[in-house]
Amino acid sequence: MTQDVVITNPHDLTDRFEQLLGIGVALSRERNLDKLLEAILLAAKDVTNADGGTLYRMTDGRALKFEIVRNDTLGIAMGGTTGVKIPFPPLPLFGESGEKNMSMVAAWAVHNDKSINIADAYSERGFDFSGTKNFDRKTGYRSQSFLTVPMKNHENEIIGVL
């Protein structure tokens, strides 16, 4: 499910390592949770050259709350330190009768404790991208690839999804 990164220029690899080291140092110094989560999302966007990103935090083990949403093309910056409220409801981890929600990529990542790389949401089968497609219809955007990664604390517990 993952793609290999092919780096043809050795300086690109050095630049990536330096970028990751800088991110690690900055994150280790941050004590404000909103700033820390925002730094994680922005660093992940930068390292992966992503146009957008979302960070969800685990609520009571039953849902993933939108914590930070960014999209460069659309100029969207919500949550985190922006002070802009996120209008989207939390993603349920379980259905009404208690079954695991395996149709949403972020929920799947939590339940399987695995990262998932989707090349194109519009051709992917097995996941519900109706919310993504609805967002695209409303904004004129075209969402495409998704790299979804469970976030863990120092005790190896899932605390969110990036």
pLDDT single digits (tens) 58-69: 998 899 999 999
Q: What value does the mean pLDDT take over residues 103-109?
A: 95
**Encoding tokens for residue 78?**
């919500």
**Encoding tokens for residue 119?**
């090349």
For residue 29, pLDDT over 90 is answered with no
**Which residue ranges form the domains of the chain, and what is each CATH number?**
10-161 (3.30.450.40)
pLDDT at 62: 92
Greater confidence (27 vs 74) lies with: 74
Sign of the C-alpha dihedral computed for residues 155, 26, 79 and 71 taken in this order: negative
Output b/e per residue, 82-109; b: 16+ Cβ within 10 A. Answer: eeeebeeebbebeeeeeeebeebbbbbb
For residue 21, pLDDT over 70 is answered with no
Greater confidence (12 vs 31) lies with: 31
For residue 161, pLDDT over 60 is answered with yes
pLDDT at 5: 46
Name the nearest CA neighbour of 66 among 84, 50, 54.
Answer: 54
Residues linked to residue 158 through DSSP beta bridges, in sequence order: 152
Distance, CA of 107 to CA of 123 (rounded, Å): 19
pLDDT at 110: 96
Distance, CA of 110 to CA of 124 (rounded, Å): 19
The predicted model scores a pTM of: 0.82
pLDDT at 2: 43
Give 88-96 contacts, CB < 8 A, sequence gap 24+: 90/56, 90/59, 90/63, 90/64, 90/65, 90/66, 91/56, 91/63, 91/64, 91/66, 92/62, 92/63, 93/61, 93/62, 93/63, 93/64, 94/62
